[in-house]
Amino acid sequence: MHVIQIPLRFSNAYLVIDQQAILVDTGSPNESDTIMRAITNAGITPNDISLLVHTHGHIDHAGSTAELRRRIGIPTAIHHADAPNLLSGTNGIVKPRNLEARLVAAMLVKPFEAVKADIVFTEELSLHAYGINGQIIFTPGHTKGSISLLLGNGEAIVGDVMMGGWLGGTIRPHQPNYHYFVDDWADVHHSINRLLTHAPTRWYVGHGGPLAYAQVARHFVDIIDK
């Protein structure tokens, strides 16, 4: 099993390749060309992709979902609590945590092309049916429907539960940091704790990264449940 990071304009998408492949997130609008190229470069075809799963329903993670589904008809999944975002092409309520975050929100938070998900899940989901040794767990806080993927190789894809560095990961991308937008601080702290109990060796994030376990544990030491 291996994870391929697809760096996009403002965010990362990921390919997870095991028995089959899955795509995690689709970046911002008009990024389907870059994603199609990454699929080809990975030595696979769209037919090898069993699922497109969203870490959450924001424009920089679901922005090219509609155009990708037109090009390659892969089944599309999102957590129930973020499904309305995808269905309406909106970001829901975004809560910036500081001035820099407000500037990012003004630049980034716009409507995007709506699409109806094929799979709306409320429970945590095993990925074995999709040819991947891994599991989706519920990690809300950044949004109400944020999820993470725990993979059989000991790594994790955590979306925007946290981010790498500053300015969307352009500065010190491997330094763990809170994300710009936090819907619910208690949920974010709970989700980080939950992920830490699984001790993923490498944390793939929506912006910047990847992050090493030791760095994440050190950065968030003050909020770790005793």
Enumerate binding residues for Zn ion (CB under 5 A): 11, 58, 60, 160, 206
> Measured from the CB atom, is 14 or 130 closer to Zn ion?
14
What's the closest the beta carbon of residue 206 comes to Zn ion, in angstroms?
4
- Give the nearest residue (CB) to Zn ion: 58
> Measured from the CB atom, is 31 or 60 closer to Zn ion?
60
What's the closest the beta carbon of residue 171 comes to Zn ion, in angstroms?
16
> Measured from the CB atom, is 18 or 60 closer to Zn ion?
60
Stated as kind and residue range, the H or E segment containing 137 is: strand 134-138
What's the closest the beta carbon of residue 60 comes to Zn ion, in angstroms?
4
With b for 16 or more beta-carbon neighbours within 10 A and e for fewer, the 190-206 pattern comes to: bbbeebbeeebebbbbb
The contacts of residue 94 (CB under 8 Å, 6+ apart) are: 58, 105, 109, 181
Whole-Å CA distances, 82 to 3, 17, 151, 213, 219: 24, 25, 22, 27, 28
> Measured from the CB atom, is 55 or 76 closer to Zn ion?
55
What's the closest the beta carbon of residue 31 comes to Zn ion, in angstroms?
13
